[in-house]
A = this chain, B = another copy of it.
Amino acid sequence: MATLEARLQALEDREAIRELKHRYLNACDSKDVERIRSCFASGAIWIDFGPIGTFTERDAFVALYQQMACQPQVIDLHHAANPEITLHSGGEASARWAIFYFNLDADSGLTRQLGGVYLDRYRKGDEGWQIVESVCRLHSVVTGRTLGEPDEH
């Protein structure tokens, strides 16, 4: 029978993992490169983003992110949904998330909406919870074009 403290710790861990993923995705939208880097563990990790590539340490991933996303015409939304989080022993956890990604190319007006799934693993260390594995698989890709000039409403 888990103690009150252990049960509380489990809830706090789940909350911290949710916020870690939210921090990562919000940092992707705001192109905050150092914040993205800090969401991943500094040692060996595994990122598999399908056709975008696979990465075994965070600096290589962040370098590609910068090259692809940090351009003024790239406007991205990364919205997470439906987290299912499982805590394991030894300060490890895993989760499945649904992802809604939406990209607007501000030069051409072209849009691309991706729906898919993240399968993640997390580890708790001196820096708190960090991502040690992230596999992204897409369900659907839909392309379009904004009808007119974006307004600012």
On A, residues with C-beta under 8 Å from B are 4-5, 7-8, 11-12, 14-15, 19, 21-23, 25-26, 29-30, 50-52, 75-85, 96, 98, 100, 102, 104, 110-115, 117, 138-148, 150-153
Listed by A's residue number, 11 A-B pairs whose Cβ atoms lie within 8 Å are A4-B4, A4-B8, A11-B15, A25-B98, A29-B139, A79-B100, A81-B100, A111-B142, A138-B152, A141-B150, A144-B144
Collect the chain B residues with CB atoms within 8 Å of residue A15's CB: 11, 14
When the two chains form their complex, are residues A144 and B143 in contact, meaning their CB atoms are under 8 A apart? no
Collect the chain B residues with CB atoms within 8 Å of residue A117's CB: 26, 29-30
When the two chains form their complex, are residues B98 and A51 in contact, meaning their CB atoms are under 8 A apart? no
When the two chains form their complex, are residues A77 and B104 in contact, meaning their CB atoms are under 8 A apart? no
User: Within the complex, which residue of B8, B25, B52, B140 is in contact with A82, where a contact is CB–CB below 8 Å?
Assistant: B25
User: Within the complex, which residue of B11, B77, B84, B141 is in contact with A26, where a contact is CB–CB below 8 Å?
Assistant: B84
A20 to B29, CA, bound (A): 24
Collect the chain B residues with CB atoms within 8 Å of residue A98's CB: 25-26, 29, 77-79
